[in-house]
Amino acid sequence: SQELEQSPQSLIVQEGKNLTINCTSSKTLYGLYWYKQKYGEGLIFLMMLQKGGEEKSHEKITAKLDEKKQQSSLHITASQPSHAGIYLCGADDTDKLIFGTGTRLQVFP
């Protein structure tokens, strides 16, 4: 079965700093999704990537899917306290999503 590994597991950055979160799959990715979760709440959809080499941006968040479609990265530029939360990558697995374990991001002033 497909597994997703995220790194780092936890990240603490100072406001204004850039950061990157990685998601590596044990199999080829046919659809990779990034979600954000505030503690104790539901998930908020951020972006979806499907093609090798694809890159998408929304405000200060950029996500990329590598050419081999086995790894994705999420980059946040000039982090703000509002970026704090848990970032989860998810992958298509025959009519359902499987998720990584998440990366907990804390941003301090």
Partner 1 sequence: DTGVSQDPRHKITKRGQNVTFRCDPISEHNRLYWYRQTLGQGPEFLTYFQNEAQLEKSRLLSDRFSAERPKGSFSTLEIQRTEQGDSAMYLCASSAGQLGEQYFGPGTRLTVT
**Contact residues for partner 1 (CB under 8 A)?**
4, 31, 33, 35, 40-45, 48, 88, 90, 92-93, 95-102
Nearer to partner 1, 13 or 43 (CB): 43
Of 4 and 11, nearer to partner 1 (C-beta) is 4
Shortest distance, CB of residue 65 to partner 1, whole angstroms? Answer: 12
* Residue whose CB is less far from partner 1, 5 or 77: 5
Least distance (Å) from partner 1 to the CB of residue 99? 3
Distance from chain centroid for Cα 4 = 11
Please spell the DSSP secondary structure of the chain, one letter per residue: ---EEEE-SEEEEETT--EEEEEEESS--S-EEEEEE-TTS-EEEEEEE-STT-EEEETTEEEEE-TTSSEEEEEESS--GGG-EEEEEEEE-SSSEEE---EEEEEE-
- Nearest approach in angstroms of CB 63 to partner 1 is 12
